[in-house]
Structure 1
């Protein structure tokens, strides 16, 4: 193993110590402000939520504050679509570094203020969503990008977020395993060039059948990602917690990395032409707290989750300490308990070493990427329809 030295590992120290609670949906929160085109900086930027860190930082700061006020320990930057490709839709591609850096600085300011007032550290998670391309697909437009081009796109976003003060980089709502690898390569290239290293958390999104867009299931995702230089693996978005049970159990029983789970507030339903996430705070918090009891160490919410969802989740899990790991047979018999004893997963007893040591030598990662992926079979490609505009975290 090659030793992995962090320049900032406060986030991993917290994950080692207790269950860390993330925030909820940024997009859902923004919608409640009923912003005008002028708030976005003009009609040409209307709907570009990420640009609000420049035009209405007060709104984004208030949203971060609303989640910190109910107990969230980590807040995600408003940068889910802040990569060069997606910002180009608004002519903002040349401001990619500025937008990411500013978003992280804004979140850092709020977190530091709350930490100073409460004495509890708060963490900035630099949100990195999909590029909008699907390199594993067969669509001539969506797959028309090289691995190196993708890596460079994620390098740039990682640079802005890290320079702005992020404690952890979060590659989230990942639906194409090849794109995930490009993100990991690009981010680690930035770390090497800049002489910094902060934790890297990677979350895939699975449909109701338990697969990513091109057919990768949770076992394939885990096998692929644990071999790469990441520090946390998890799931977010796509479905509500009710569809995550089997994949989460698999991760708890097989992952050597800390596990994160940030579900939507249920599967969206169409109400008057708009997507509505129907799961109320109480059942949501109850189910997600159950995942923590199984061994998930990082919990929070995605699309449709509000401060009220996180407030109840905080009440269920805050202050609980890990106890002995549940056996697989015990996990099979678990039923929801309003006051669960929160359990550690397989990585808790031995992960001090895992946090400081990587999964092998990744110094040549940038030159090895072509051998990292097996292309999806034609059958896998045909079973799912690519969505060029994934809803993503908080975009609904």
Structure 2
């Protein structure tokens, strides 16, 4: 068992570190305050060849694996952004790249993947609905046959990055639930233009991740052309899981980066802050122990996530590892960001210290993209052999 990085992986990590350092916590604080999409940062990531790390070389990517992607995301997020930057990787290399590279037509791959790698095309994904959150099989948006294409009606909610996206991966039923032989049959995936007649979206006001807007999306008789189908009609459930499984690894990598950044900010403050005499508060066990506990949890999540990424690259099952890593990472990141605020006392409540933004953003991932409770349900059934509880 070899935990060392190859020379190529070290180079990838160093490249990501240098890009990340160009966009420090102050950049992200300003973007957060203005609720602006980090266009400059994402373009720099694309220009460095990092956005296409796991995409095929023939379409402008680097042909690397999920291990390298996890390392890239962690390094970028640790430099200043925290967890929110990982979401942009979900939108583009995962929702766009994985879906197209694995299930898209040859024309889609030739036309769209190179533009994804260069940053010319941005993506989002329309999955969650008001009555279909964790239970994606309850999706009610319907794409009914219309000539050689479809007409889409329905609603999505909490869809990330819609205003900036050119394309949306939409999950809809092409066979309604009441006519499907089983719930997993009848779902289809489509890659459609965001700027299309009948598609509208409204912004949702929220606590954090302000650099990436969340929207309610409405489909009113939206035309879908036959060449916009991803994969096979009615067989989208397995394809969807294939896309979503890698999302866990991306999420955890971003949370690990958040944990690293939170520890760094807390330690820097604790080593310089003196309250009672000449001793820095970092010498107190009340400061040391919570940060040390968080570091241990962060490392556990990181190693489990890299194992999940390695299993993914080998074509082996990795659901248990990726879910457990995300569970630990989300708790560690949220806890460490809050602990950094606690170390800083009143200053931790100030936006200039950055910790409060890290906490606001990391808190989302205690229940997204999959909640702690659903992960524990999964572990109970898949790893412990306990009966289904829901």
TM-score with structure 2 setting the length: 0.27
Computing the radius of gyration from Cα coordinates, the structure with the larger value is: 2
Higher relative contact order (CA 8 A, sep 6+): 1
Structure showing the higher helix proportion among its residues: 2
